[in-house]
Structure 1
């Protein structure tokens, strides 16, 4: 019974660690953010890029081996679906740009400001620490100098 208590307490401490909670929040926010980016790409970017031909980037393909007819399970021939790759690439680039400009860059600036404040605070409160041994050496040197100057007068 004692072993189960240790396992349970270890599991509780694992779950309540800051990193695990932060990771869980990041996964949930990332999943919601992915839906937003996919909607932007499918609703705005794909139609703009597709205005050259079709509105659906997934339909852009190249036929490697003829005859390329049909779609889905009934397709014949060998197709390279470069439109799907283009759509996925656009989704990735937009996601990376938004994450960088809205999350990474502001956080880096914030951390740099915090570090500068910390260094400035340390600089103003810097105290010269003198050890006891250094003080004793200074006293000894002063006594030796004083004794030396007194002997010269006699």
Structure 2
């Protein structure tokens, strides 16, 4: 084997190795592309799943729902209850409605603005809520109000949704029933037409058969007459 043959063999080997490396790079590239495609396909499938969309809608609606409840509670009900508390318990608001189990008091400065300057004109004794033990009825009442508001609004929404769903379901059932009746009517028309066609074909066949028998009888009669003449 000469030098040229060795060089040719080495060139073939190098070319084969290069082709193999190129093939592996292509396979890796296709594999990565497939993995990337599968990732985005799975992600798309995940975000378009019904329960994920329902959860997102529930979170958004829940946030808006909370804002509505807070607005009604804080801007409508609390002022009415505060006015009622002022009449019954001589308190200005729910935040001042306490029952003390252990009351600790402290002095608080009474301040007034005189000639643009805030000055202390005296002191008053107030409950020290930090060190006192008490039942905060205002917070309890507020929590009960919020609960009742949420329960009431949920009940109203559920009631409306149920009625709407029943109407939609009734329309769907009525449409399905109408479609089924229409289909049955079409099938009956087709069946009647097929039966009529079958009856007509049978009658035509019977008529042809009777004509055939009549023709045979006539030919037989003619043959008998001819035989008698002979």
Distance 1:19 1:118 in 2: 24
* 1:120 has 2:174 as partner: yes
Q: How many residues align?
A: 125
Which protein has greater RCO, CA pairs closer than 8 Å, 6+ apart?
Answer: 1
Gaps of 5+ in 2: 1-31, 106-126, 188-230
Q: Which residue of 2 aligns with 1:90?
A: 145
TM-score (norm 2): 0.47
| Distance of aligned partners of 1:26 and 1:55 in 2 relative to their CA distance in 1, 3 Å threshold | farther
The within-5 A match list for 1:60-75 is 60-67=97-104, 69-71=127-129, 75=130
CA drift of 1:3 comes to 4.4
Q: Which residue of 2 aligns with 1:46?
A: 78
Q: Which residue of 2 aligns with 1:58?
A: 95
1:46, 1:55 within 8 Å by CA — same for their partners in 2?
A: no
TM-score (norm 1): 0.66
| Distance of aligned partners of 1:55 and 1:29 in 2 relative to their CA distance in 1, 3 Å threshold | farther
Gaps of 5+ in 1: 130-154
Q: Which has the higher strand share?
A: 2
Aligned-residue CA RMSD (Å): 2.6
